[in-house]
Chain A
Amino acid sequence: MTRWAFLALLSHWRRQPLQLVAMILGLALATGLWSAVQAINAEARASYAAAASRLGLSQGPTLTSPDGTIPSDTYVALRRAGWQLSPVLEGPIRLGGRTLRLVGVDVLSYPALPDSSALSGIAPLDVLTPPGRLFASRVTAEGFDGDPRLVLSQDVPAGVVLTDIGTAEALLDRPGALSRILVLPDQPMGLAPLADLAPQLSLSSPSATSDAAHLTDSFHLNLTAFGLLSFAVGLFIVHGTAGLVMEQRRPLFRTLRALGLPARHLTLLVLAELLTLALIAGLLGLVLGYLVAAALLPDVAATLRGLYGAPVEGGLTLRPLWVLSGLAMAVVGAGLAGARGIWALVRLPILASSGMALRSVASGLGARHLALAGLALILAGYLALRLMPGLTGGFVMLAGLLLGAALLLPLLVDACLQLCQRRAKGPVAQWVWADMRVQLPGLSLALMALLLALAANIGVGTMVSSFRLTFTGWLDQRLASELYVRAASDEQGAAIERWLASRADAVLPLRSAEITLAGQPGELYGVADHATYRQNWPLIASEPGVWDRVAAGEAALINEQLARRENLWPGDTVTIAPDWTLTVAGVYSDYGNPKGQVMVSIPALVAHHPEVPNRRFGIRVDPAKSEALARDLRQSFDLPEESIVDQAALKASSLAIFDKTFVVTGALNVLTLGVAGFAILTALLTLWTMRLPQVAPAWALGLTRAQLGRLELCRSLALAAITALLALPLGLALAWVLLNVINVAAFGWRLPMYLFPADWLRLFLLALIAGGLAAALPARRLHRLPPAHLLRIFANER
């Protein structure tokens, strides 16, 4: 019985192969885009974990100092007290034109050195004595692979250069300074407590998450949100098709029930069929997701390295958890899409009329009910934001706004069509508008998918473009100096400063130290008292006399990220070190930097951090003379090419990093729009058999098939155009939430919102193209349909 009943169920797909394709491809696309994002996230997080593990950062407790630096005397004192420790000194270093993370360790005590194969053939003395050895992976070593100190080792994470601590002291110019001290696992009995020996240090427990994982959480959350949106858009295809398939098979269900198949048995068979389809589509989706992720991962890796300094390799590994979660999403998606149909099947009366069933497809739940549900969702999203401020509340609001607007769409489109119908003059125009209203329930899900895709494009596009415009203006303010120079040592720095005194309008030292701010990695900068800063620095909040107070060492400036994270604003105080607290005199925007930052006067910085190098300078000079000055400077001090950067080059490289950051977003935007176009196509194709009874009478009354084909195309274009117009306010609302809620919570900065009508026009045309392409096939089929097929509409019903 089961076999024959199952075969009877499957016979539907033989007659409706397009519906089968729509079901499987829709689910595969939804799963694919979701899986791609998950694969990227999983790969990045695995890289962070591997990096932390390989460097031994998560292997034991660590001693750190609130101001970021531990004097080596403290380490020596602890060792003398009997503690088994391993010192670490780390900091940024420019190698091969890139900024990398130099990690200096004591090679004799460090617990996680590179594999022995990398060390074989190298005399230990070579590692310990100048010029030392630099261990790096092949990816990291690109750009300085000619350096004789380089030793390739795949055990060292991407973006990190490992070396002996003595070599690191010299390269970072931080003699006698340590970043942290690892406490080794095996310790002798009866030691004095660390808290007594070094009360100024804090002991942190091993943590599964590294700095990189913490800093990049927001980036991954944003990617996940986009993946979820893509999944939802794909699911609209499946939901529409699944609903239609269930309705079209009602007569078959009734017949099977009438022939004695128990309702429970029938439901289980339909569930088994749905599960089979979900697994097939899920596997296809995983393949698709793997390909998309493999294509996007190099850009994501570059972004994470460039923006956050996070170590991510460009390669992709197939992970069992990723495969299982992808398949699970396909099954969940199929379940969501088929739930309504299966619920109806469970309650199906054997004698229900098929006419009623078909009408219920056409009318759906009713546009008014959907609209009410939509309004409730939008309200719920708003309330969620009020009750849960921050990233979670922001995303709940976004979900409520997008889904709510999607549910409002049928009512709004119907109102537009009604208006057009009233204004139409000719009989054909009147029929076309009226016919679109009849067609609307069947196309609603596809139009909702299009609305979401367009709104996401407008919203994310507006955010990125606003961000870019703001970022460009901010760069102009922030990079006011015409030239930037980096000396090889403090001595050379001092000489350059003297040399420039008579040749440049001003020399602005750029000095900084890495510190811990409110328990998180942060930066402390020294700022010279100069008109360049007073006139250009991008302050978003300040007290009167801000620059005078900073120059006097009475106050500090903080970046927007720190201000929002810790709720510190002008008049509040910021703790820079346990014994150093200053009033916040101003807050400045600092886009692209995930870390908190404090700016004090240079004398104040040097007083608290005498070890800070003095090697980088901004040079103010007549722009017309900057090229000659750079040339003279290089010649006079024998500086390498990359040591002097002009303002334009620095801006160009900053913008390049910025643009790379949003490559993934752009790609997901295009893919989501493609999925929405596919949703319209599948909706039109699956509705094809229901369309013929509606157009055949018009043909019989004197319209040609070519006219009908053209009108079919016009209908799709009109629906796409109306949807695109309605997507505009939704997209702008989305952009507002992204800029004012999500960005603030995720990255710590708020951006002004700019409008880009040219982008809207481009997107409007893209929507028309998607609608036109989707309708092209059904229109062509209608144009070429033999009259005998249209006549069957009249004959079949006899």
Chain B
Amino acid sequence: MLLDVRSVTKTYPGAERPVLKDVSLSLDRSETLALTGESGSGKSTLLHLVGALDGFEAGEITLDGTSYSQLDEAGRAGLRRGAVALVFQQFNLIPALTVAQNLAFHARLGGAYDPDWTATLAQRLGLADLGSRYPEQLSGGQQQRVAIGRALALRPRLLLADEPTGNLDEATGDAVLDLMLDLVRDTGAALFLVTHSERIAARLDRRLHLGSGQVA
């Protein structure tokens, strides 16, 4: 088992009720999992916890045997640099860097930069000719392909995707999703994808529904 989320509870400061309550799930290597749920159900919060971006008050998360509750901030940052990669709905590329620099950035940060692999990714994602452009010069679909390439250039063990096609039209979204699923399978990474769409969720190995802070 790659990821184990056990009885995790998370309450935001000032909130009356926990956003996640006693949530448990697991994910095997190379497995793809879709997490669906209504707005405000806690999907993104769970994804952020798994991505070591935020803390929780109860329960435990382990990735490949590494317990999150044992990690300090530097340790969590190290996990994000080396094992986990993220793809956001709004792409969140680094506006100051070119496409080529964005693609390589995460892998170089994690010390796992492979120029050949990054070039292959750029080729397969249709970005080979856009390397010198800046994010603001790209369309939404192109930006999301850069975000996916940036994440996979690291060869992460776990790829987290938060509504990766939510900001794209259906045709572009489908094309981007096809590419992402192909590449995830090729790299052997596990995929934990948050989505509203039942149609997208149906394309992954497994799906879970989150309602009122609990996995149904």
By a beta-carbon cutoff of 8 Å, the part of chain A in contact with chain B is 359, 426-428, 430-431, 434-438, 693-694, 696-707, 787-788, 790-791, 793-795, 797-798
Cross-chain contact B162 with A700 (CB below 8 angstroms): no
B98: nearest chain-A partner, CB-CB? A434
Task: Tell me which of B53, B78, B81, B90 contacts A791 (CB under 8 A).
Answer: B53
Interface contact B89-A697, CB-CB below 8 Å? no
B60 to chain A: closest CB distance in Å? 18
Interface segment among B30-38, B100-108, B171-179: the answer is B100-108
User: Inside 8 A of A790's CB, which chain B residues have their CB?
Assistant: 53
Q: Does the CB pair A793–B92 fall under 8 Å? A: yes
Residues of A within 8 A of B166 (CB): 798
Q: Which residue of B lies closest to A439 (CB)?
A: B96
Do B54 and A430 touch across chains, with their CB atoms under 8 A apart?
A: no
List residues of chain B with CB within 8 A of the CB of A798: 44, 89-90, 163, 166
Identify which of A426, A705, A787, A790 gathers the most chain B CB atoms within 10 Å of its CB.
A787
Are A787 and B92 touching (Cβ within 8 A)?
Answer: no
Question: Can you list 14 A-B pairs with a CB-CB distance of less than 8 A?
Answer: A435-B96, A438-B96, A694-B96, A697-B92, A700-B51, A700-B53, A700-B88, A701-B86, A702-B77, A702-B78, A702-B82, A702-B109, A706-B73, A794-B92
Q: In the assembly, what is the distance between CA of A798 and CA of B47, in Å?
A: 15
Give Cα A506–Cα B86 distance, bound, in whole angstroms: 93
Question: Which of A694, A701, A791 lies at the interface centre, i.e. has the most chain B CB atoms within 10 A of its CB?
Answer: A701
Give chain A residues whose Cβ lies under 8 Å from the Cβ of B122.
none
Check if A787 sits within 8 Å of B94, measured CB to CB.
Answer: no
| A427 touches which of B53, B54, B108 (Cβ 8 Å) | B108
In the assembled complex, B126 has its CB within 8 A of some CB on chain A: no
Are B136 and A359 closer than 8 Å at their CB atoms?
A: yes
CB <8 Å contact, A427 and B136: no
CA A428 to CA B86, docked complex, whole Å: 18
Kindly provide the distance from the CB of A427 to the nearest chain B CB, expressed in whole angstroms: 4
How far is A694 from B97 in the complex, measured between Cα atoms in Å?
Answer: 11
- B21 at the A interface (CB under 8 A): no
Residues in chain B near residue A707, CB distance under 8 A: 77
The distance from the CB of B9 to the nearest CB of chain A, in whole angstroms, is 16
CB–CB B55/A701 < 8 A: no
Q: State how many residues of chain B have any CB contact under 8 Å with chain A.
A: 36
In the complex, are the beta carbons of A701 and B96 less than 8 A apart?
Answer: no
- Inter-subunit contact A431/B105 (CB<8 Å): yes
Asked whether B73 lies within 8 Å of A704 as measured between CB atoms, the reply is yes
How far does the Cβ of A222 sit from chain B's closest Cβ, in whole Å? 44
**Residue from B74, B90, B104 having most chain A Cβ neighbours under 10 A:** B90
Scan residues 40-96 of chain B and give those whose CB is less than 8 A from a CB of chain A: 44, 48, 51, 53-55, 73-74, 77-78, 80-82, 86, 88-90, 92-96
List of A residues within 8 angstroms of B88 by Cβ: 700, 794
A787-B96 CB under 8 A given contacts A431-B105, A701-B109: no
Question: Contacts A427-B108, A431-B97, A701-B105; is A791 near B48 (CB within 8 Å)?
Answer: yes
Report whether A702 and B80 are in contact in the complex, using a CB–CB cutoff of 8 Å: yes
A758 to B74, CA, bound (A): 42
Determine the residue in chain A with the shortest Cβ distance to B163.
Answer: A798
B93 touches A697 (CB 8 A): yes
Are the CB atoms of B162 and A702 closer together than 8 Å?
no
Given contacts A427-B105, A428-B109, A700-B80, contact A437 B96 (CB under 8 A): yes
- The 5 residue pairs across chains A and B that have the minimum distance between CB atoms: A702-B81, A434-B96, A427-B108, A702-B80, A797-B90
For A787, the chain B residues whose CB sits under 8 A away are 53-55
On whether the beta carbons of A694 and B86 are closer than 8 Å, the reply is no
Q: Which residues of A contact B44 (CB under 8 A)?
A: 794-795, 798
Taking a contact as CB atoms under 8 Å apart, the answer to whether A430 and B53 are in contact is no
Interface residue B110 (Cβ < 8 Å from any Cβ of A)? yes
Which residue in chain B gives the minimum CB-CB distance to A706?
B73
Contact B92 A696 (CB under 8 A): yes
- Complex: how many Å from CA A426 to CA B104? 11
A113 CB, min distance to chain B CBs, angstroms: 77
Bound Cα distance A105, B90 (Å): 88
- Pick from B55, B94, B163: contact of A431, CB below 8 A: B94
Contact B92 A791, beta carbon cutoff 8 Å:
no
* Residue among B73, B94, B101, B136 facing the most chain A CB atoms (10 A cut-off): B94
Given contacts A697-B94, A794-B90, A795-B44, A704 and B12 within 8 Å (CB-CB): no
Q: A430-B101, A787-B53 are in contact. Are A704 and B94 (CB under 8 A)?
A: no
Asked if B109 and A427 sit within 8 Å, CB to CB, the answer is: yes
Tell me the bound Cα distance from A696 to B101 in angstroms. Answer: 17
Report if A700-B92 is in contact (Cβ < 8 Å); known contacts: A427-B105, A430-B101, A798-B166. Answer: yes
Shortest C-beta distance, B33 to chain A (Å), equals 20
List the B side residues contacting A794 at CB < 8 Å.
44, 48, 88-90, 92, 162
Closest CB-CB distance, A407 to chain B, in whole Å?
24
* A701 vs B104: C-alpha distance when bound (angstroms): 12
- Closest A residue to B48 using CB positions: A791
Residues of B within 8 A of A706 (CB): 73
A687 CB to closest chain B CB, in angstroms? Answer: 14
Residues of A within 8 A of B48 (CB): 791, 794
- Shortest beta-carbon distance from B187 to chain A in Å: 17
Chain A residues with Cβ under 8 A from B110's Cβ?
702
- Which listed residue, B74, B89, B96, touches A797 by the CB 8 Å rule? B89
- A426 CA / B108 CA spacing, docked (Å): 8
Chain B nearest Cβ from A293, distance in angstroms: 45
- Cα of A438 to Cα of B53 in the assembled complex, Å: 25
Across-interface contacts of A704 in B (CB, < 8 A) = 73-74, 77
Indicate with 1 or 0, residue by residue over B173-192, a CB within 8 angstroms of chain A CB atoms: 00000000000000000000
> What's the least CB distance linking B17 to chain A, in Å?
16
Residues on A with beta carbons closer than 8 Å to the beta carbon of B97 = 430-431, 434
In the complex, what residues of B have CB within 8 A of residue A436's CB? 96
* Least Cβ–Cβ distance between A438 and chain B, in angstroms: 4
**B160–chain A nearest beta-carbon distance, Å:** 10
- In whole angstroms, what is the CA distance A525 to B99 when docked? 79
A702–B55 Cα distance when bound, in Å, is 15
Residues in A with CB closer than 8 Å to B106 are 701-702
Contact of A705 among B13, B73, B104 (CB under 8 A): B73
Known: A694-B96, A702-B106, A794-B44. 13 other contacts (CB 8 A): A359-B136, A431-B105, A436-B96, A437-B96, A700-B80, A700-B86, A701-B81, A701-B86, A701-B106, A704-B74, A788-B54, A794-B48, A794-B88
Closest to B79 in A: A702
Q: Are A701 and B89 in contact (CB under 8 A)?
A: no
A96 to B101, CA, bound (A): 77
CB neighbours of A696 from chain B (8 A): 92
A739 to chain B, nearest CB (A): 43
Q: How far is the CA of A700 from the CA of B44 in the complex (A)?
A: 14
* Smallest beta-carbon distance B84→chain A, Å: 9
Q: Which residues of A contact B108 (CB under 8 A)?
A: 426-427
**Which residues of A sit under 8 angstroms from B89, Cβ to Cβ?**
794, 797-798
